[in-house]
Amino acid sequence: MSDFTQILRAIEDGDALAADKMLPLVYEELRKLAATHLANEGQGQTLQPTALVHEAYLRLTAGTNPGQWKNRGHFFSAAALAIRRILIENARRKGRQKRGGGLAREELDYGALAMCPEPKEDLLALDEALKKLSELDARAAELVQLLYFAGLTLPEAASTLGISPRTASRLWAFSRAWLRDEIEGDGSLRQIS
């Protein structure tokens, strides 16, 4: 009779310490089983064989009767099923939208980021200029808001405002020039409406 079978019988007889003796006997085989399953997983797998073995062993022994296994083969079949379930749960967790869904992870090049120029627009200055533009031409200021802050395209903004795309294009050209002059220039366009 093998040590594993003796431990199973001791568990059935009510020996509370017998389950603790089982892990050292099966640990190396469980680790190989876990490593085999993890080798078949795709890139980006963060679960380690040791963690997988521990989780599977806890699931196999916690809350259930460890004496439920008939023999070593039955135990390893249950272990393989537990490992599979853990891997499936891990894959589902990784696939959820809040965790990025199917997006691939990309490393940032911090050196390239440091070389990027600072944005030219000053949002506070733009806000002040938009307030002044809205006093001059409310529809022009609204068009700028739709294009700049809402991210609409020119045809979408024109439709929202109920004007033709051509009128929106002219209004956009005027608004950009007026805002640039107001923020950066000498203010010579302030009087034009």
With vertex at residue 133, the alpha carbon angle to CA 129 and CA 137, rounded to the nearest 5 degrees, is 170
Of the candidates 72, 35, 69, 76, the one whose C-alpha atom is nearest the C-alpha of residue 52 is 35
Judgement on whether residues 135 and 171 belong to the same structural domain of the protein: yes
> For residue range 146-188, what is the model confidence (pLDDT) as tens digits?
887 777 889 988 988 899 999 999 999 999 999 989 988 765 5
Judgement on whether residues 74 and 133 belong to the same structural domain of the protein: no
Of the candidates 15, 88, 8, 10, the one whose C-alpha atom is nearest the C-alpha of residue 52 is 88
Note the pTM of the prediction, 2 decimals.
0.43
- pLDDT, mean of residues 135-144: 92
Judgement on whether residues 91 and 27 belong to the same structural domain of the protein: yes
Which amino acid makes up residue 139?
A: R
Quote the pLDDT of residue 166.
Answer: 95
Residue 113 has pLDDT above 70, yes or no: no
Domain that holds residue 180: 123-184
CATH number at residue 162: 1.10.10
Cα–Cα distance, 28 to 39 (Å, whole number): 16
> For residue range 21-70, what is the model confidence (pLDDT) as tens digits?
777 777 777 777 777 767 766 666 677 878 888 888 788 777 555 556 67
Judgement on whether residues 127 and 90 belong to the same structural domain of the protein: no
State the total domains in the chain: 2
Of the candidates 33, 27, 22, the one whose C-alpha atom is nearest the C-alpha of residue 84 is 33
Judgement on whether residues 86 and 7 belong to the same structural domain of the protein: yes
Token digits for 20?
């603790």
CB atoms within 10 A of CB 38: 16
